[in-house]
Amino acid sequence: GDGTAGFPSASNAARRAAAAGILWVAAGGNYAQDHWKGAWNPLTVGNITLQRFGTNSDNSPDFDMNAVVPSGGALTVFLKWDNWPITQEDLDLWLWDATGSSPLAQGIRDQSASGDFPGEEMTWVNNTGSAKTVYIEVRAFSVTDPGQLDLLIFGHAGIEYPVAAGSIADPAFSPHTVAVGASCFNTNQIEYFSSLGPTIDGRIKPDFVSADGVLTRAYGGTTGACDGFIGTSASAPHVAGLAALIMHAAPNWISERVVKALEDYSRDRGPAGKDNTFGFGDVVLGAVPAEDCQSVPTPVVGIAGPGTVVDTYNGSSVTPGSYLVKNNDGSLSLCVGPGTPASASASLLAVSLIGDPVGSTARESCVTVRDSWVALRCGSYRLGIN
């Protein structure tokens, strides 16, 4: 969920793309009704330890996630847990019918021996000739603390305990992508299936929403309802196209500055500010953006003490080689150079646009150059140690 998978994955590709300066706009996913998440909540019955999903009508613990599989349908279940990238915490998937005589399918990769990625999957095809209710179990093989569990369940006609929160897809959950949700073009309401945040590490996603139910050659026309081409695969290209228009108007802007422009052009659609349903809202481009001013501040190589203003500059970008850093989560911090007093090596930096009372703060302890910092609005900034 944080974009740091230790094996080949879409989120890893997004991280590499961002490092190369590529802006990746991703479909947020259509999984709000296909997802469950929760803490590991075990109960041992005999010699088997099972996840408790809920409580039955007789107040007994419910160890099964019921799913209805249409005739001829293929049910696929993905389980992951929060022990990335490699774990020896070992959970397994089991699928049963009402008889419970033998499992219909299993996901029993062995993580406990030498470690493996924290995930399982299983698939079952319903060849019974009619719709069938099946029962998904999560079992512990060798577990101490697997953290949060996430299930994605596809090919069903309804699951027992859907949880829309946290259903954002890979790689849209990565901090290195712009995630786009789907809202019906003629109602502006979020689609019931559009994946929601937050991510497993608590970040707000999606970043924006855009329209689906659109006319395409492949999916045909629309009747005025939300039909035609629906889903986040229909909505994400709109935001990608808007980003391309901004890049054309301001070719010197880096990806972070383009994303900030999308935020500035967005219309808030949910609670005030960014939220886990609409993100910043939908994007409506206004006037052609002007190129930002460009200037580079003097690197900070020594700090007299707390309360000192160490630099003031005008600009929207800082070249690598300075000591100013923008963290992956968007917070701002300062890496101070050789000669800085030891007492300032782990300081609090306040960065704010002069005249703007709202600033960002972050704690930072590094003492060497790490990266460049990007001011996302043209103007005069004051950098100081508190």
177, 261: one domain: yes
351 assigned to some structural domain: yes
Confidence of residue 242 (pLDDT cuts 50, 70, 90): very high
40, 145: one domain: yes
314, 273: one domain: no
Phi, psi (rounded to 5 degrees) for 321: 115, -20
185, 258: one domain: yes
41 assigned to some structural domain: yes
Cα–Cα distances in angstroms (integers) from residue 269 to residues 243, 266, 277, in the given order: 20, 9, 9
Number of alpha carbons in the 13 Å side-chain half-sphere of residue 25: 22
163 assigned to some structural domain: no
Q: What angle do CA 269, 273, 276 make, to 5 degrees?
A: 70
- The alpha helices in the chain, defined as continuous H runs, are 10-19, 232-249, 255-265
For residue 215, give the CATH number of its domain: 3.40.50.200
Domain coverage including residue 20: 15-28+171-283
What are the percentages of helix, strand and coil residues in the chain, rounded to 5?
A: 10, 35, 55
Return the percentage of the chain with pLDDT > 90, whole number: 54
341 assigned to some structural domain: yes
pLDDT in tens, 259-289: 988 998 999 998 999 999 999 999 999 887 7
Regarding predicted confidence, which is higher, 131 or 305?
Answer: 131
User: What strands, in cross-sheet order, belong to the sheet with 148-154?
Assistant: 35-39, 148-154, 74-81, 119-125
Confidence of residue 11 (pLDDT cuts 50, 70, 90): confident
182, 262: one domain: yes
Span 75-99, average pLDDT: 93
Regarding predicted confidence, which is higher, 151 or 359?
Answer: 151
47, 19: one domain: no
51, 81: one domain: yes
| Partners of residue 363 on adjacent β-strands | 348
75, 150: one domain: yes
55, 121: one domain: yes
164 assigned to some structural domain: no
Split into its structural domains, the chain has a count of 3
Q: How far apart are CA 78 and CA 87, in angstroms?
A: 17
117 assigned to some structural domain: yes
Q: 329 burial class (0-12, 13-18, 19+ CB within 10 angstroms)?
A: exposed
What is the CA 34 to chain-centroid distance, rounded?
Answer: 17
Region of residue 229 (left: phi > 0; alpha: psi -120 to 50; beta: else): beta
177, 279: one domain: yes
Model pTM score = 0.74
Confidence of residue 113 (pLDDT cuts 50, 70, 90): confident
181-195, 277-291, 304-318: least confident range: 304-318
Task: Identify whether the C-beta of residue 154 lies closer than 8 Å to the C-beta of residue 235.
Answer: no
Run of H or E residues at 311:
strand 309-315
- Point out the domain boundary residue: 227, 248, 283: 283
Q: How far apart are CA 158 and CA 206, in angstroms?
A: 24
For residue 57, give the CATH number of its domain: 2.60.120
Q: What pLDDT shows up at residue 326? A: 37
264 assigned to some structural domain: yes
350, 351, 352, 358 alpha-carbon torsion, rounded to 10°: -50
Regarding predicted confidence, which is higher, 340 or 276?
Answer: 276
6 assigned to some structural domain: no
Confidence of residue 80 (pLDDT cuts 50, 70, 90): very high
- Point out the domain boundary residue: 124, 154, 184: 154
Closest CA relative to residue 28, chosen from 330, 283, 277: 277
57-61, 197-201, 263-267, 311-315: least confident range: 311-315
Tokens of 288: 């052609």
Any residues with CB less than 8 A from the CB of 60 and at least 6 apart, and which? none
150, 39: one domain: yes
- Point out the domain boundary residue: 92, 121, 154: 154
Q: Decide: helix, strand or coil at residue 103.
A: coil
Q: What pLDDT shows up at residue 75? A: 97
Q: Report the largest interatomic distance among the alpha carbons of the chain, rounded to a whole angstrom.
A: 78
120, 198: one domain: no
Q: What pLDDT shows up at residue 20? A: 85
